[in-house]
Amino acid sequence: MIPSVVLREAIERALLEDLAGGDLTTEATVDEDTRAVGRAVAQAPLVACGADVFAAVFVTLDPSLRVERLVDDGAEVEAGTGLWVVEGAARSILLGERTALNFVQRLSGIATQTRRYVAALPPGSRTRITDTRKTTPGLRALERYAVRCGGAHNHRDALGAGVLIKDNHIEAAGGVAAAVARARARAPHTARVEIEVESLPMLDAALAAGADVVMLDNFAPDALRAALERARGRALVEVSGRVTLERIGELGALGVDVVSVGALTHSVPASDIALDVTRLAE
């Protein structure tokens, strides 16, 4: 679920962006009393996502509009499948068309891409696929919901949600051991301490310092296998850095605990969804 306050803010901001000057075309060509039905249809295979967002856009514009969900979020559908329907004042439907489609095309694209990554894991694998903070500013909650609809998991939602020591933190703190020690001393007792490492010596230093999670950044295959052996039973292992779909099967087979994939959100193509509007007889 997307928190209602987050959803409302995102939708109001998007509608203001598109409609601050009104809609000259709709006002000029469509009578106020014209009624219509709009049917959102998948133009290609996809994982549907964004039913609540689709509905909220139209209801925010016009509470009298009726919106129906035809498929559940997370459902895999073929081209030609109807996803959602909106019925009521034609002007209101046309006002919200682009904003609603922008949201659901983006979210369905993320869910579809995520499903591909999850499906690439070997049968029975315990490896988790997660997103990262490489999200569209202001839309993180929505995009992370789409990742969950695709079957994957979320990494930390914000900087305050967990300790993740990266290269610049290590440099500023004076080294791996110092960074972990300072995090241990200052972080809440409920927080795990995770640190990003770029080499086996850095990994050894992180393990010796007592890190709970080690993030292996851009490790070559041989170094990755050695790292997994050294970390086994001592820390959870996350792999990140240019992780492609083709590598997921290998990483799952090796027993990596977590694979974080920025590509789930930062560069995913939008799904192709159209809103077919039909005028209703008076």
- Which 8-state DSSP code applies to residue 66? E
- Which 8-state DSSP code applies to residue 106? H
Residue 253 CB: number of other CB atoms within 10 A? Answer: 12
Partners of residue 194 on adjacent β-strands = 164, 213
Q: Single out the residue of 114, 109, 99 nearest to residue 53, CA to CA.
A: 99
Residue with tokens 């999200």: 135
Q: What's the distance, Cα to Cα, between the start and end of the chain in Å?
A: 38
119/178 Cα distance (integer angstroms): 40
243: its two tokens = 């992780």
Q: Provide DSSP, 4-25.
A: HHHHHHHHHHHHHHHHTT--HH
158/277 Cα distance (integer angstroms): 39
- Which 8-state DSSP code applies to residue 153? B
Catalytic residues: 98, 134, 166, 196, 217
- 145 HSE (CA, 13 A, CB side): 22
205/250 Cα distance (integer angstroms): 26
Specify whether the backbone of 233 is left (phi greater than 0), alpha (psi in -120 to 50) or beta. left
Q: Single out the residue of 19, 267, 243, 55 nearest to residue 143, CA to CA.
A: 267
